[in-house]
Amino acid sequence: MNIFITIIKFFGQYIHLEFLTRLILIASLVVSFLTIFFFTFGKEIEHKVVTQNIDYLIDEICDGFVDTMGDKQKKAIYEKINSFKLEDMSKEDEKVETNNKQLFDKSVTILIILLVLSVFITSIISYFKKYNYLEIVTENIILLLFVGLCEFIFLVYFGSKFISANVNFIKGKIASYLYIPNPVTDKNKLIYKLIDNSFNNKNLIKFINENPELANEYINRITVNTNNLQDIINQRITTSSNI
């Protein structure tokens, strides 16, 4: 007992022990509550958010291009999807459940140790310093209830409705995988840019000078007589000069 008294007196010179008692107790209670809350109610909200994000992505992407497809295209895609062989994921699911259970058991063990130590330390301090320990515990439980209420309201009314999926990014990725280079189309885009009526002689020359790599890239990819392309450019320059 003398050891505890000595330790308490030593720390009491530098720390407000009643504040430390309340801090240790509320910290251990909040950590315990949040951990249990996550493994029970929180994981259900997380599952709901993931499902909502997936549904949102599917709706946004499908509404954008499925309606533009013909019946033959839709049928071909449908048959292709049905032809996929789904792998048996039962072992992986079992492994995930086992890991989650081990994580939960480990967390509970740590929480029990934390709570026991917190109660032991705070009760010892309260005993020797003559604090009203029951009052301290009651106040901390009330604070914990407010923390739990705020966490519940936030998850239900805000967290569960949060959409983090970036539809444009997903569409861009899909388009990059589906894109098939079309030399004729690419050539026409470049020519249209070069001879567009909005270009005057000065702007056309500026565009050609600022984009030589772009022009060379397109020209090298297409199997056309590049002299024809140059003739068109020269014709546009001559026309612009006469305006």
pTM over 0.85: no
| Nearest residue to 240 via CA among 211, 186, 198 | 198
Domain borders along the chain are 2-173, 181-242
pLDDT score for 50:
84
* DSSP 8-state code for residue 223: -
Q: Report residue 224's pLDDT band, with 50, 70 and 90 as the boundaries.
A: very low
pLDDT score for 209:
63
Q: Report residue 113's pLDDT band, with 50, 70 and 90 as the boundaries.
A: very high
Alpha-carbon gap, residue 233 to 195, rounded angstroms:
7
Per-residue pLDDT tens over the stretch 196-215: 444 445 555 565 566 666 55
Res 3 pLDDT > 60:
no
Alpha-carbon gap, residue 122 to 139, rounded angstroms:
14
Q: How many CA atoms, within 13 angstroms, populate the side-chain half-sphere of residue 142?
A: 7
pLDDT score for 72:
76
Highest average pLDDT, of 14-23, 133-142, 153-162, comes from: 133-142
pLDDT score for 218:
47
Give the tokens for residue 36: 């249990």
Res 179 pLDDT > 60:
no
Strand segments, DSSP code E, in 40-111 are none
Q: Report residue 126's pLDDT band, with 50, 70 and 90 as the boundaries.
A: confident
